[in-house]
Structure 1
Amino acid sequence: MNRLIPFGMAVAALAALAGGAVILTRAPHAATTGTAADRPADRPSVLTVTATTPQTQDWPQTLVASGALAAWQEAVIGAEVGNLRITELFADVGSTVVRGQELARLSQDSTQAAIRKQEALVAQAKATLAQAQANARRARMVKGSGALSEQQVAEYLIAEDTAKASLAAAQADLDSGRITLAQTRILAVDDGVVTARSATLGNVVSTGAELFRLQRQSRVEWNAELDARQLSQVRPGQKARLTLPDGRRIDGTVRLAAPSLNSATSRGVVSVSLPADSGAMAGGFASGEIELANQSALTAPQSAVVLRDGRSYVFSIGADNRVTRHPVTVGRRRDQRVEILAGLPLGVRIVESGGAFLSDGTPVTVAPSGDPVATAAIPERKS
């Protein structure tokens, strides 16, 4: 009895193997003779994607450039009087100042003493003038009466004019002294940021010596460098967009384009004004784009473009919901969209997102507009 059970199990196993062989031999035949409508069922969809259609939009042409960030204008603040010692400093590098703000002060002792002396000379000249005017007035009253000779009358009148001139000279010297006193206060010539300071406390300055350097109005410009062909297309007022060294993107406006090229580099500089609150710092380097006239562009979402092996691809969706891979040439990028220059047929539906998981000929399920996309609809294998 025990020997019959293994024999029966062996017969059952042979029957199962024979049935499997029949199925395996028929499967290829069924695949080749099945209809087109039956084939998608043989290979189920592996991914649910969203579809979109490329759009034609008017985009500005752009010139890609790079260049240094520099101060819009710099102001040099120096000493207008010499041989005076710096007694006080009120600003340092990085200080934000306003027009007329005191930055430093020179010694005022000798200047104030000279002013007091000149004030005394003015008072003396005024007294002399008063006496000369009184004599001249009496001389005019007795002129022609014989009390005074014509020569004496003339002398009194001339003395009056001389006293007037002496008072004017003394007053001018006093004004000059007061100007010198005012020049001992080193003032900011405009609003801005102090970018350099050579003034040192206790140093005796000479006339014209630079004490501070000021970045006017805290404005920074982007000096984009272009070649001759590009430079001819740039006009003041055009928009620009650049990327700062820290990755932030800001907008600017072309202020002027250089009228000539640098003889050493054969490139010209385009000055782009940046907002005062842009955060750009002079001395840095930035790259960006200058916008020219608008031009029609075939565009697609950036998510629709897949980068593989250094090339860009877009997947179109056919009538049977199978995707076809198209190598494309991309151009400008703007507002999360990219320009397709070549390689994409017109009027096709393309995969908007999920293309990174696809290959040529893969069947997909197109999600209705607004539905969430399943990014992993791959059937599980049963163990």
Structure 2
Amino acid sequence: MNRITLKPLTLGLIAASVLTLAGLGLISTRSEAADAGKPAALAKAALTVNVTQAKSGMLPIKLAANGSVAAWQEASVGAESNGLRVQELTVAVGDSVQRGQVLATFASETVQADVALARASVAEAQANAAEAAANADRARAVQGTGAISAQQINQYLTQEQTAKARVESAKAQLDAQLLRLKHTQVIAPDSGIVSARTATVGSVVGAGTEMFRLIRQGRLEWRGEVPSADLGRVTVGTHVVLTAPSGTQFKGRVRMVAPTVDAASRNGQAFVDILGPVDGGKAASGALKPGMFARGDFELGNSGGLTVVQTAVVVRDGFSYVYRVGADNKVTQVKVQTGRVLGNQLEIQSGVQANDKLVASGGSFLSDGDTVKVVEQAAVSPSAAAPVADKPAQATGK
């Protein structure tokens, strides 16, 4: 039998290899043992998060509605004389006018001629009345003497009365012509803003034809469409915040609530006087005009509730969730019912309790049961947010 003889160098290499493998195995075993001894939170943290708390407080109750801006009242200004030619228009659409201001004038030559004729008629009637009065006075002087008959005396007295009546008639005709002359100027019946002008220079208009339309006193109102179920919550004097299409906000107050509800839409109208910009400054030009759409929020008081920062709410499959952090840093997915939006805060109507620790942001990257690493706790007070609307809303999320 042949025997294999190993040289000393070969034996040394084999021994070194065995020792190396043994050392690697020992190191691996110790590493696994060390990993097994580490806390689970440090070994398997799925995400590093901040936490927030659900806070309770008094929240404003608001009823949101849509509607249109309209003129408080409109005045129709038309011609009062018939068959006159428009000579001059002194205002245009959008101009502000004052009560008694001249808006337009008609050609007055014909009317002035009629006035002169009426004056002459008055003078003639007065002359005839003076002669009749003198004859009547002479008849009275000889009455009873037999110088003239009783029939002649009655005739003179009757002529006196007839002449006086003709004077009054001539004066009435003069007044009518003077009124026509006055109507050759179209006067603003009230202060306001010209919203329409249909007259043109040179046109001949008939009596009663509309020439201008005014927004009386420049006052506008908002007519909000309120569902019949909520109409009883709106009362006269309720404060309203209106938002124009430009984003400018205005203060308003309910002037009247319609006594009826539209049979087709089942909505009732609330008539709101627009008082001015919310910040008390001057509103931007054209911020609100009749016919514009605007959104309004009726301020109905306050009620208690819980809020969290909106980023803490995650929407999945049409439902809203938050992630509650437990004492072991494991998160629990909790389904919640959301309510009013208040700035960056969102009302939570059910699902969490006050002072619950919730993942402030990044919940869309978590699943139920994940372990997180908490680095900071930041509680946000709901009072720091501005109220928006009393309507259920859902937070945005992945």
Q: Tell which deviates more after alignment, 342-351 or 180-189.
A: 342-351
Structure 1 counterpart SS, 2:259: coil
Correspondence for 1:29: 36
Correspondence for 1:381: none
Give the TM-score of the pair, scaled to structure 1: 0.76
Displacement of 1:334: 4.2
Correspondence for 2:389: none
Alignment of 1:1-383 (within 5 A): 17-18=24-25, 20-31=27-38, 46-47=48-49, 51=52, 53-57=54-58, 59-60=60-61, 62=63, 64-146=64-146, 149-275=149-275, 279-292=287-300, 294=301, 296-300=303-307, 302-303=309-310, 305-309=312-316, 311-314=319-322, 326-334=334-342, 337-348=345-356, 359=366, 361-366=371-376
- C-alpha separation in 1, matches of 2:340 and 2:239: 15
Deviations 1:213-252 (A, max 9, x none): 2222223332222343233443322233333222333332
Alpha carbons of structure 1 residues 369 and 331: separation in structure 2 relative to 1, 3 Å: closer
Letter in 1 for 2:60: W
Alpha carbons of structure 1 residues 348 and 266: separation in structure 2 relative to 1, 3 Å: closer
Displacement of 1:183: 1.4
- C-alpha separation in 1, matches of 2:46 and 2:264: 65
Give the TM-score of the pair, scaled to structure 2: 0.74
Correspondence for 2:280: none
Alpha carbons of structure 1 residues 280 and 28: separation in structure 2 relative to 1, 3 Å: same
Structure 1 counterpart SS, 2:229: helix
Alpha carbons of structure 1 residues 146 and 356: separation in structure 2 relative to 1, 3 Å: farther
Deviations 1:46-97 (A, max 9, x none): 4556x555123153352x3323332222222221122111111112222222
Q: Tell which deviates more after alignment, 134-143 or 187-196.
A: 134-143
Residues 46 and 364 in structure 1, CA contact (< 8 A), matched pair in contact too = yes
Residues 322 and 364 in structure 1, CA contact (< 8 A), matched pair in contact too = no
Q: Tell which deviates more after alignment, 13-22 or 330-339.
A: 13-22
- C-alpha separation in 2, matches of 1:213 and 1:190: 11
Residues 96 and 194 in structure 1, CA contact (< 8 A), matched pair in contact too = yes
Residues 308 and 348 in structure 2, CA contact (< 8 A), matched pair in contact too = no
Correspondence for 1:375: none
Displacement of 1:298: 0.6
Displacement of 1:30: 0.5
Structure 2 counterpart SS, 1:225: strand
Letter in 1 for 2:352: L
Residues 66 and 295 in structure 2, CA contact (< 8 A), matched pair in contact too = yes
Displacement of 1:313: 4.5
Displacement of 1:358: 7.8
Deviations 1:102-160 (A, max 9, x none): 22211111011111111122222233333333444444455445555444443333333
Letter in 2 for 1:261: V
Displacement of 1:166: 1.5
- C-alpha separation in 2, matches of 1:317 and 1:140: 121
Where do 5+ consecutive residues of structure 1 fail to align? Answer: 371-383
- C-alpha separation in 2, matches of 1:109 and 1:276: 47
Residues 304 and 350 in structure 1, CA contact (< 8 A), matched pair in contact too = no
Residues 314 and 320 in structure 2, CA contact (< 8 A), matched pair in contact too = yes
- C-alpha separation in 2, matches of 1:127 and 1:301: 96
Structure 2 counterpart SS, 1:190: coil
Residues 69 and 284 in structure 1, CA contact (< 8 A), matched pair in contact too = yes
- C-alpha separation in 1, matches of 2:153 and 2:30: 149
- C-alpha separation in 1, matches of 2:128 and 2:347: 89
- C-alpha separation in 1, matches of 2:306 and 2:148: 107
Residues 54 and 349 in structure 1, CA contact (< 8 A), matched pair in contact too = no
- C-alpha separation in 2, matches of 1:143 and 1:125: 26
- C-alpha separation in 1, matches of 2:343 and 2:143: 96
Structure 2 counterpart SS, 1:215: strand
Structure 2 counterpart SS, 1:163: helix
Q: CA RMSD in A?
A: 3.8
Residues 53 and 355 in structure 2, CA contact (< 8 A), matched pair in contact too = no
Q: Percent identity, please.
A: 37
Letter in 2 for 1:214: L
- C-alpha separation in 1, matches of 2:160 and 2:23: 144
Structure 1 counterpart SS, 2:69: strand
Where do 5+ consecutive residues of structure 2 fail to align? Answer: 1-8, 278-282, 381-398
Alpha carbons of structure 1 residues 263 and 111: separation in structure 2 relative to 1, 3 Å: same
- C-alpha separation in 2, matches of 1:252 and 1:123: 61
Alpha carbons of structure 1 residues 93 and 361: separation in structure 2 relative to 1, 3 Å: farther
